[in-house]
Chain A
Amino acid sequence: MAVIAEEANEITLENLWKTAEGQRVLSCMQCGMCVGTCPYGDVMDYPPRRIIGMLKEGELDTVLRSNSLLTCVTCYACMTKCPRGIKLTEVLLPLVKELTFVQLSDVPSELQRALENTLRYGNPMGESPRKRADWVKTSKVPIRILHQDRRPTDVLWFVECYTSYHPRGQDNCRATARLFHALGIDFAILGNEEKCAGEAARMVGESGLFDTLMDYNIKVLEKYEYNRIVTSGAHAYDTFKYQYPPRGFHRPVEHTTPFFARHLDQLKPKLTKKLNYTVTYHDACVLGRHNGFYDEPRRLLAAIPGVRLVEMEHNRANSICCGGGGGGMWLDTYYKMKGYERLSERRIKEALNTGADVLAVSCPYEVSRFEDALKTVGGDKKMIVRDVTELLAEALEE
């Protein structure tokens, strides 16, 4: 998957046709693979195929006024399938989403609150930034906070918002800390200096908010000495990897799942508790389709004693999005009002069909979305949701 971050950041609707990506867009043969694979393709007024058609006719205004792109959850499915290799989710869709957002006369209220909170408090929940590192007190292993102890570190662990503030996210970060500790990793966190990496803001079209967050984060990240950033946030990983470098920020970044997979030889002997779970793994869009990490989580899960892996009908590149991306995390009520099925419910039914005990995930949005969906479809007695790091930590020796 070629990355064209530098180019992507300079593309505007005005100069689109002059760029290589613009030429690819023009080569669209209207085959409809994008619509067919889009999880909301059946309800979106203007799916990618039609957008490109309208764009060529100079009719983009109609697309923008339809607010159709609020339904795009930036799952990379269309981009993955496009036979012309049009980087839909990387370039065209964010452009159109940005233009849609700026002309919205009524921003759906849940989304509005999430964006206002993110600007003001550095997290969409509206929690005080001074509480972002409160979870550290509940960690079973020591956690170093860089602004208190400025010595260089090997890993700067970017914890992210849901992981820091949401009770289920905190289960994840406590597990992650234990794993780092067990591996003898030298790590530290930013603590209360950390703010949302901003991927959701960018992918819903609030580019001003994204720029503000990115500028802030780069300033903070440049203060300290470390070898790499490892983040628990799949969306944070994506944005550090593709959006921050064109702004001048070039540090190695990894997501926890592939990071732990890289250390599997060292980790496996410590996974001594037998879990006796049948596990099905949900491929997160950003980690899977966009970054190709399909094997890593599966290798980790297979290394846990007593875990039996089963696959859902749609897996790997065909995985069905949980619906949290592109602002979708805060648009559930909006989608409901329009009568759309919630994607997390569609997906959870597939998960339940496997008969597995555990749905394993590796993106913080997914835990609360799938736990909610289990309750709604009445499957919460049959299945639990766990992040891969939670399962690893559960199997970890004391």
Chain B
Amino acid sequence: MASNIWVLAETWRGQITETTLELLTLGRELAGQTGGPLEAVLLGDKSLAAPLGAADNVLCAANVAPTPEAVAAALAQLVRERQPQAVLVPWTNLSMDAGALAAAQLNAPFVNGCKDLKSDGGMIVAQCVVYGGKLEAAVAATTAPALFGVLPGSRPAAAAGNAPTVTEVAVSVPEARVKFNRYLEPETGDVDITQKEVLVAVGRGIQQQDNLELAESLAAALGGAVCGSRPVIDQGWLPLSRQVGKSGMSVKPKLYLMLGISGAPEHVEGMKNAQLIVAINTDANAPIFNVAHLGINADLFDVVPALTEKIRAVKGGA
């Protein structure tokens, strides 16, 4: 029991999430180091288990309400009964509550923001992102079981593989003090750019309102939204809700693709924590190239149409 590695499978709108599959890849590595099996914990209907084939076993408990309380109680109960060494929990809005509550109930650590895990001298050691990404900490759990909140993107998603072995388990969940009512969809009005994972940002280099179309097509191909630096908003080409920077919003998307933005500090302030920053600018000395991760020193009017076409080609085939 002391070497089992568990992954809390999270389901969103009736589907196992991508992050769960990434955790299975990491879990498999870890299980290889600890010598124990890799098990997924699915607190939902067993019909959802199909993508979890990378696990040796899926512990499935149905009728667990989608509230952090219910999930935590169920998870804690299973952990107490079966004593795995580690439980990998997706570090997402969806699952971090449940992970934190379960850990509190178990008097176990819930290690935050892990980008990597390994077994070392019998202990699980996590590489954690701390202080907003300014530093990283190597944190060892000194007790077992221990829970680990793992960041999305730590590993590629595990393939579904063969149909998983499902073990149905029973959990008793205390009377609910937190009840789920309903989902609230985002307003169909304008977009909340702070929630977007992909943003295409336009600056003065876009030159005219008509050219925004280029950015819109690129954003659509990437599944993102268009935002802008202040001059663009001030021209009235984009609404205030799309403004990024000192006078606008701070965004931290997975991808921030910048077209014709020089990188003035006032704009950078609002986007410098984006995970992947790509800048396209005709000025090789534009300050943005000291902020961006990837750069293309070319005319956006030449690059963007080609980029959009190629992205569509890749996605079309997927």
Contact = CB atoms under 8 A, between A and B. Distances in A.
Given a CB threshold of 8 Å, the question of whether A touches B is answered with yes
B229 to A, nearest CB: 10
Contact of B234 (A113, A376, A380): A376
Interface string B234-266: 110000100100111000000000000000111
Nearest to B263: A167
B240 A375 contact: no
Given A166-B265, A167-B265, A167-B287, A333 B231 contact: no
B230 interface: yes
Given A167-B265, A375-B204, A337 B231 contact: no
B201 to A, nearest CB: 16
Given A110-B246, A333-B240, A375 B265 contact: no
Contacts of B269: 125-126
Interface string A106-136: 0000100100000000000110000000000
A211 interface: no
Contacts of A90: none
A18 interface: no
A333 B248 contact: yes
A110 B247 contact: yes
Contacts of A376: 231, 234-235
Interface in A353-387: 368, 372, 375-376, 380
Interface in B262-314: 264-266, 269, 287
A308 interface: no
Interface residues of B, number: 15
Interface in A146-197: 166-167
A372 B231 contact: yes
A81 interface: no
Nearest to A380: B204
Contacts of B265: 125, 166-167
Contacts of B235: 376
Nearest to A336: B234
Contacts of A337: 240
A127 B135 CA distance: 19
A254 interface: no
A332 interface: yes
A342 B231 CA distance: 12
Nearest to B287: A167
Q: Which of A110, A332, A375, A380 has the most CB of B within 10 A?
A: A375
A342 B234 contact: yes
A368 B262 CA distance: 13
Contacts of A336: 234, 240
Nearest to B246: A110
A94 B124 CA distance: 62
A332 B230 CA distance: 10
Nearest to B204: A375
A200 B156 CA distance: 51
Interface in B137-173: none
A17 to B, nearest CB: 40
Q: Which of A113, A333, A380 has the most CB of B within 10 A?
A: A333
Given A166-B265, A332-B247, A372 B230 contact: yes
A364 B264 CA distance: 16
A62 B248 CA distance: 30
Contacts of B234: 332, 336, 342, 376
Q: Most A CB atoms within 10 A — which of B234, B240, B287?
A: B234
Contact of A375 (B231, B243, B247, B266): B231
A336 B235 CA distance: 10
A197 B29 CA distance: 57
- Which 6 pairs show the lowest CB-CB distances between chains A and B? A333-B247, A375-B204, A110-B247, A375-B231, A376-B231, A376-B234
8 contacts: A126-B269, A333-B230, A333-B248, A336-B234, A336-B240, A372-B231, A376-B231, A376-B235
Interface of B: 204, 230-231, 234-235, 240, 243, 246-248, 264-266, 269, 287
Interface of A: 110, 113, 125-126, 166-167, 332-333, 336-337, 342, 368, 372, 375-376, 380
Given A337-B240, A372-B230, 7 more contacts: A110-B246, A110-B247, A333-B240, A336-B234, A375-B204, A375-B231, A376-B234
